[in-house]
């Protein structure tokens, strides 16, 4: 029997704390943070998929498809980190994020039944906000990797670079959408 096995049997002891430099109160907050980001990633991916579908056959389609695949891969990476820290997913949080992405369809965009150029502008702004939030998540985890050995700083830094590239791509798509909608 190892020290960790014995520690697991002590009431109120978090074995994860023994394996890291993170105190149990900090670990609790980290789990909430990761859980909330995971829930948001569900809604963000739903919005990317909807935007892809709405832009099929347009000049936006290929880049939006690539970005959707990148965001899915980022969500999967986040889920691996959540598992590493014993995060329990929030059904309510996921449902709220999904509902928010779905309710985003109901907006005044100047057209009742047809996709509007204004819809594209607003959706690209929402996608950019989500990717910015994800970028901040990766940056926070890179910072935390200095004291948390389970976090791979190289991999996390790669996610930071990817998210920055995704933001750049969304910025270009947004500029094009603004031109088409308003100029």
Say which residue, 116 or 175, is predicted with more confidence: 175
pLDDT band, residue 22 (cuts 50/70/90): confident
The domain at 23-182 falls in which architecture?
Up-down Bundle (1.20)
Per-residue pLDDT tens over the stretch 130-146: 999 999 999 999 999 99
3 state SS of 76: helix
Say which residue, 49 or 97, is predicted with more confidence: 49
Q: Give the DSSP letter string of 19-72.
A: HSS--HHHHHHHHHHHHHHHHHHHHHHHHHHHHHHHTTTSTTHHHHHHHHHHHH
**101-106 long-range CB contacts below 8 Å, 24 or more apart?**
101/43, 101/44, 101/46, 101/47, 101/50, 102/46, 104/47, 104/50, 105/50
pLDDT of residue 113: 55
Angstrom distance (rounded) from CA 98 to CA 142: 27
Show me where the domains of the chain are located: 23-182
pLDDT band, residue 41 (cuts 50/70/90): very high
Cβ atoms 127, 60 nearer than 8 A: no
Nearest 5°: the CA angle 104, 83, 44 is 15
Residue 124 has pLDDT above 90, yes or no: yes
Percent of the chain with pLDDT over 70: 75
Residue 6 has pLDDT above 50, yes or no: no
């Amino acid at each position: 029997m190892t020290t960790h096995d014995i520690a697991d049997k002590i009431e109120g002891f978090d074995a994860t704390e023994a394996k890291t430099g993170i105190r149990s109160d900090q670990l609790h907050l980290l789990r909430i943070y990761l859980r909330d980001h995971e829930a948001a990633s569900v809604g963000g991916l739903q919005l990317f998929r909807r935007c892809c579908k709405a832009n099929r056959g347009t000049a936006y389609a290929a880049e939006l498809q690539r970005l959707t695949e990148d965001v899915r891969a980022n969500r999967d990476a986040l889920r691996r980190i959540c598992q590493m820290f014993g995060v329990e997913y929030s059904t309510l949080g996921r449902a709220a994020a999904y509902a928010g992405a779905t309710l985003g369809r109901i907006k005044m965009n100047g057209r009742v039944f047809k996709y509007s150029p204004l819809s594209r502008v607003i959706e690209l702004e929402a996608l950019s906000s989500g990717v910015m939030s994800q970028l901040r998540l990766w940056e926070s985890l890179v910072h935390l990797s200095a004291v948390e050995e389970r976090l791979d700083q190289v991999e996390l830094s790669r996610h930071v670079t990817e998210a920055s590239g995704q933001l750049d791509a969304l910025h270009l798509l947004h500029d094009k959408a603004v031109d088409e909608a308003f100029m």
